[in-house]
Each structure stands twice: as structure tokens, then as C-alpha cells.
């Protein structure tokens, strides 16, 4: 829980009262590699702090392929934001790419904390802002040519190239380029 509290404090100061309110509301779950935390079509009525591991947020595109929107690692929050706020079925899936441990809070519980401590709305808003920025970054990347996307990747997400859990085909799916293109580029 300490890492989660540090994360929230990095967004906005976190009072001891809010910490206490969160303790009983955040539940720990473990997922094996390749197990979905969220399946397409299920409502994402939760958000989760990744205590350990790596996940991908993705959706299916025509031809049976998937498009990866982002990779989230230890110390980050994962959530299908649109589904979370609209209480609608998710168009995304979230899948563990490694043994992953999360600290999950339901939307109802997060709102209960925010109702009791209105400043917690600031934390929730900042989490939504970060997720929106990731989606925007991915969207804008898709507007560039394959060559430009590959050239920008080291500066934009250099850690992905170093993380052995993220395979070349996953980088291709993230960039929206042919898998052979990434293979040639990495050589």
C-alpha cells in the first residue's frame, strides 16, 4: 500500500484520513502472465495500481489483430477510463504480460472516499488526465508515417525497447506498423 500512497501523493498531497479510508477499500489481486485483468465487453468498474508486473491495454482491429494503446508497469495506474466513467462495457482489454500484482479499488468505493474527502476528486481527476494523455500520445503517434513512429519511439518510450517482456511484435502492434518493419529497424 505504501507505493500506492506515494503514487497518490505525487499527484496531490494525501492526508492521513484519506489513507485510512483507502486501506479497507483497496484489494490486492494477483494475475499470471497472459491473464486478462479486464476483457473486452466487461465493464471496468475499478481502477488499479500496479504493485508488480506489466500490463498492456489493447483493442481488436479488423483482421483479428490487436492494437496496443499502452504498456503500464510497476508504479502506474491501469483502468479503461471510458468504461469506468460511463459504466459501460469496455472496448479495451487489459492483459498481464508478466506475473502482476495490483491494488484494486472499485468505482463505488473511490466515489465514497471522494464524497467523504472532496480533495480526493483531485487525485481521481489527475489519474484521468494521465490516462487521457497516454491515449492522446498514442493517437497522435498513429497520424505519423511508420518511419516517423519508429524514429520517435526511443525518445517517447525508450524503456519499452529495453524491457525484455515487451517483444518486437508488441512494439509493432503499439506503433501500428508491420512486424517485419520493426524487425528490420531493430537490426
For residue 61, what pLDDT is reported? 84
Shared-domain flag, residues 135 and 75: yes
d(CA 96, CA 34) in angstroms, rounded, equals: 5
Reported confidence tier of residue 144, pLDDT bands at 50, 70, 90: very high
Distances in Å between the Cα of 73 and the Cα atoms of 8, 37, 61, 101, 145 are: 16, 14, 24, 10, 27
What CATH code is carried by the domain that includes residue 71?
Answer: 2.60.120.10
What whole-number percentage of the chain has pLDDT above 70? 98
Shared-domain flag, residues 44 and 70: yes
User: Are the CB atoms for 151 and 117 separated by under 8 Å?
Assistant: no
Mean pLDDT for 145-162 is 88
For the entire predicted model, the pTM comes to 0.90
Shared-domain flag, residues 152 and 67: no
Shared-domain flag, residues 77 and 113: yes
Shared-domain flag, residues 18 and 60: yes
What whole-number percentage of the chain has pLDDT above 90? 72
Q: What is the tally of structural domains in the chain?
A: 2
Shared-domain flag, residues 69 and 89: yes
Shared-domain flag, residues 98 and 6: yes
Shared-domain flag, residues 138 and 175: no
| Residue 59, domain extent | 2-142
* Per-residue pLDDT at 19 exceeds 60: yes
Of these ranges, 107-111, 143-147, 155-159, the one predicted with the greatest mean pLDDT is 107-111
Shared-domain flag, residues 44 and 130: yes
Shared-domain flag, residues 14 and 102: yes
Shared-domain flag, residues 148 and 106: no
For residue 186, what pLDDT is reported? 60
For residue 57, what pLDDT is reported? 96
For residue 54, what pLDDT is reported? 98
* Per-residue pLDDT at 112 exceeds 80: yes
Amino acid at each position: 500500500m505504501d507505493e500506492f500512497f506515494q503514487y497518490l501523493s505525487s499527484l496531490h498531497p494525501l492526508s492521513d484520513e484519506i489513507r485510512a479510508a483507502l486501506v479497507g477499500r483497496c484489494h490486492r489481486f494477483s494475475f499470471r502472465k497472459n491473464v486478462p485483468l479486464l476483457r473486452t465487453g466487461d465493464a471496468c468498474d475499478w481502477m488499479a495500481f500496479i504493485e508488480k508486473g506489466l500490463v498492456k491495454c489493447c483493442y481488436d482491429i479488423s483482421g483479428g489483430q490487436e492494437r496496443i494503446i499502452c504498456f503500464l508497469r510497476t508504479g502506474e495506474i491501469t483502468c479503461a477510463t471510458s468504461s469506468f466513467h460511463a459504466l459501460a462495457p469496455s472496448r479495451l482489454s487489459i492483459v498481464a504480460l508478466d506475473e502482476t500484482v495490483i491494488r484494486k479499488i472499485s468505482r463505488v468505493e473511490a466515489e465514497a472516499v471522494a464524497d467523504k474527502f472532496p480533495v480526493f476528486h483531485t487525485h481521481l481527476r489527475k489519474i484521468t488526465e494521465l490516462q487521457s494523455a497516454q491515449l492522446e500520445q498514442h493517437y497522435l503517434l498513429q497520424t505519423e508515417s511508420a518511419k516517423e513512429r519508429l524514429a520517435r519511439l526511443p525518445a517517447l518510450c525508450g524503456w519499452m525497447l529495453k524491457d525484455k517482456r515487451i517483444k518486437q511484435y508488441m512494439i509493432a502492434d503499439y506503433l501500428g506498423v508491420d512486424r517485419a518493419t520493426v524487425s528490420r529497424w531493430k537490426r
